[in-house]
Amino acid sequence: MEKITLINKVELLWDNIDELRKLVERIDSIFKNFPEVFKETMLLATQVKELIIKIDPFVDIYSKKVCATCSNICCLNKNSRYEYDDLIYVLALREKFPLPPRNLKEKQPCYLLTKKGCKIPRYLRPLRCNWYFCKDLLEEMQTAHARVFREFSNTFNKMLYLRQQMLNSFFQLLSNLKSDI
């Protein structure tokens, strides 16, 4: 069971894709080999996904308005870097993790950016990307009806709360699993 004990909370760097790939494989093997043990984590990840899908149309309307004319596009590798927690979430969903094809440079355009925009759905993007609303975008979003904006804000906060529950569940179940073996 060495695979599990090898997992430590680390900051993921884009400059060593081979190490990142190995880490993805290790976390993936946990969910693959112990689906019953990590059922709760996977359920919570699905609930997080559903909440992101729920806020997607709201964010989309305003980002289409503002980002289309932006002269300082923020889709750079440094803003799209997945953290360890993001990996757990994506793999708990049993989705394929969008590994970069090569080592990345922070200041270059995000490897997931295409001419038509981001190539992955919002629910698969790293938290730091989904969490980022620049001043212009936020101001535009605040022009929404107060009730609509409040609903968005509440859903977003609920998503953050459930995401934390999902991570707590993962680490708790992981430590139970280790003590059982």
Residue 125 lies near ligand SF4 (rule: CB under 6 A) = yes
Burial of residue 98 (CB within 10 Å: 0-12, 13-18, 19+) is middle
The residue (of 90 and 129) whose beta carbon lies closer to ligand SF4 is 129
Residues 44-73 that bind ligand SF4 (CB under 6 A): 63, 66-67, 70, 72-73
* Closest distance of CB 8 from ligand SF4, Å: 25
Q: Cα–Cα distances in Å, from 165 out to 23, 41, 145, 173?
A: 22, 8, 30, 12
* Closest distance of CB 137 from ligand SF4, Å: 4
The residue (of 104 and 174) whose beta carbon lies closer to ligand SF4 is 104
Burial of residue 82 (CB within 10 Å: 0-12, 13-18, 19+) is buried
What x/- string results for residues 93 through 122 when contact with ligand SF4 is judged by CB under 6 A?
-----------------x-xx----x----
First to last CA, the chain: 8
- Rounded to an integer, what distance in angstroms lies between the CA atom of residue 46 and that of residue 48? 5
Residue with tokens 């906060």: 157
Site residues for ligand SF4 per CB under 6 A: 63, 66-67, 70, 72-75, 79-80, 110, 112-113, 118, 125, 129, 134, 136-137
